[in-house]
Structure 1
Amino acid sequence: MAEQEERRTGAAPSKRDERVAARPAMPASPDALFERLARSAFRRRFRLNARDQQYLRSRGLDAVLAHAAEFVARRLAPAVPHNDGKQTPMRGHPVFVAQHATATCCRGCLAKWHGIEVGRGLSSAEQAYVVGVIGQWLRRQERTRDGGQAPRQGRLF
């Protein structure tokens, strides 16, 4: 890989390029992925607000995941998505929040976090994987909302 990159560009690849290339495509363990995401200050700050929670409750998870499949097919699946890196709003739909929380918001994040390379269209299996990751995050949010494992604030006094 490093030799090919050096021949192609005339420069040695960066350490980041080598780390990205070394990542396996589509992590085998969802728990390992969510542990990695939890270590990112940016990713772990995302939570569904009251409006998104209400939307999820009123429409149901199946309908919201159908929306996710549409968003992924339209915004992420093309080899070169329109406005890549800026195509996913930060809020406005539970799926958008989940995409940022799970690093499925753009092709760069899919490459960095999930090992799905940039520059080619997503296969149907990869699209299903992305929707599955979003669904797992939404289920975890539901469990947290319903009295599950929400992080607790420490004692103030």
Structure 2
Amino acid sequence: MRDLDELFAALSKSAFRKKFHLQGKDLVYLQTKGLPTIIVHAGDFIAKRLAPAVIKNDGKQTPFRGHPVFVAQHATACCCRGCLEKWHRIPKGRPLTQDEEDYVLKVLERWLHNEM
């Protein structure tokens, strides 16, 4: 896992990652529900779509829109196990530990907070 300041500095240099921002319904949803509620949603998405050792549709399990967390996942490279390995140094092929799930939540929370 990476230092968050180092991670966000690297993400800011990626043409693909830096193009993601909350807009329209996703931004309104975040502002209406509040960050604490959205982070609860994020925890559920991570547990179901990212934490298992084997994900049948890995690399395609995270939609690009429809929830602020989905946008945040793509913006922060927390969208699939391949990106977690490449950007966050979290290996594929095994379940995420609780510390790793907590780390992903911190990454997503920081990005969402910055978008508000």
**TM-score, normalised to structure 1's length?**
0.73
Structure-2 residue corresponding to 1:149: none
- Report the number of matched residues: 116
Q: Which structure 2 residue ranges, 5 or more long, are not aligned?
A: none
Task: Give the structure, 1 or 2, with the largest relative contact order (CA under 8 Å, sep 6 or more).
Answer: 2
Letter in structure 2 aligned against 1:121: P
Deviation at 1:82, TM superposition (A): 2.6
Render the CA deviation track for 1:21-73: whole Å, top value 9, x for unaligned: xxxxx11x211100100110000000001211110011110000000000000
Matched, 1:141 2:115: yes
2:83 corresponds, among 100, 103, 109, to 109
> 1-side partners of 2:15 and 2:44: how far apart?
28
Structure-2 residue corresponding to 1:57: 31
Structure-1 residue corresponding to 2:58: 84
> 2-side partners of 1:140 and 1:58: how far apart?
16
Letter in structure 2 aligned against 1:125: D
Structure-2 residue corresponding to 1:6: none
- Give yes or no for contact 1:37–1:102 (8 Å, CA) kept in 2: yes
Q: Which structure 1 residue ranges, 5 or more long, are not aligned?
A: 1-25, 143-157
**TM-score, normalised to structure 2's length?**
0.98
Structure 1 moving runs of 4+ over 6 Å: none
- Give yes or no for contact 1:96–1:105 (8 Å, CA) kept in 2: yes
Q: Greater CA radius of gyration, 1 or 2?
A: 1
> 2-side partners of 1:43 and 1:97: how far apart?
10
- Give yes or no for contact 1:37–1:44 (8 Å, CA) kept in 2: yes
Superposition map of 1:17-36 within 5 A? 26-27=1-2, 29-36=3-10
Matched, 1:48 2:22: yes
